[in-house]
Structure 1
Amino acid sequence: MEQSKAIIVNQLLSVKKKAGKTFNEIAKETGLTNVYVAQLLRRQAILTPETASKLKAALPHLSDELVDEMMKPPMRSYDPNLIQEPAIYRLNEAVMHFGESIKDIINEQFGDGIMSAIDFYCSVDKVKGVDGKDRVVITFDGKFLPYTEQRYSRQSVQPGLAALACTIRPYGSMVQSILAANLEACMVAQRLRGLPPAEANICGNIGLSSE
């Protein structure tokens, strides 16, 4: 079912409309947040097998073909023109206006880092203010991610490995097969190409066996 994202989103929103349910009602039936339900229907999030059956129960008109589409990794994106929509513009304005102060408090309470938007929960709630008027409550609940000090000892790829890969590539699949066979063959191939003996240690770093 190869269709454009816009077409699929329209079909999914139509399924929701036919069900006559709100995002909150679907969220309650699936155990998700209301915003995540909306993200699923807008193909901004992936549908897991565990949740698929619950969503189908909540939305009876949801076809197997649409479920299959929803279980594919989505192309998460947004239309730059969305900023012209007043509700979205005001949200952006609020984050920009309060952004530096929010960052200061995050740094003060957590340290140097950011809030994840992947390990992240978002919900929208309607409450009554003290004046009895409706108020919007938006919750951003994200994991704190500290910046990492880039220590050489923790680097997963040691210097020289990239250079070795560049040296091997022109020799084609034959050399690659030899290198993949065992550590001894790797060292022989390096000597044949005149690489310094020190480079032999790199073979161990790429998981080649000496047995």
Structure 2
Amino acid sequence: MANGGVLEVMLVDSEGIRAKRFLGCVVCCSTSAVNRPYVCVEYGDKKRVSKVAQGKGKKSIWEQKFEFVVDYPMDEKKLDQKLVFRVMDKHKLSDDGYVGDATIHVKDVVLMGMEKGDAKLGSRKYRVVREDKSYTGDISVGVTFKRKDGVNNDGERKESLVNNEGTKMATKDGVNNDGERKESLVNNEEGTKMTTA
């Protein structure tokens, strides 16, 4: 069982997102507003896809939350210490169009959250850029990391009560190691009655 936590990502909205438009297959002739944007959010090898945003023109709104389980300690060799937001334009009759990417490095947020219990990057704007590094608008995103000691590999929280001597007494739901429900437990060392939470 690894220690870690949950990285909560709040995709708020976009402003001024524009896509290149092509005439035939020759050259880019202009840019225009993205009418049906959605976002693929990537954290390491984990991926979440947003709904198509509401609103048209300069501002599109998602107000959508995603969660990613984070293992700790983090593997320094992996590049999963960043969130990548790939903005796409949903098309009805052709392949969806790539608009651009925004990247948020979250290593410091995770480290601070592991130390203090939680850490937050309030909602702020991040630049969306195309592959050629040209600016194409902004997305607003908020990020929070919450430490959860005892998160297993499936992302399930496991918690136990421990007496003063460090002996495991029961799980938080009051079930002892034998699978029996106990409303209270007796500490054998001192005969002290302990109640489960």
TM-score (normalizing by structure 1): 0.25
Structure (1 or 2) with the larger CA radius of gyration: 1
Greater helix proportion: 1
| TM-score, scaled relative to structure 2 | 0.26
Task: Name whichever structure is richer in strand by fraction.
Answer: 2
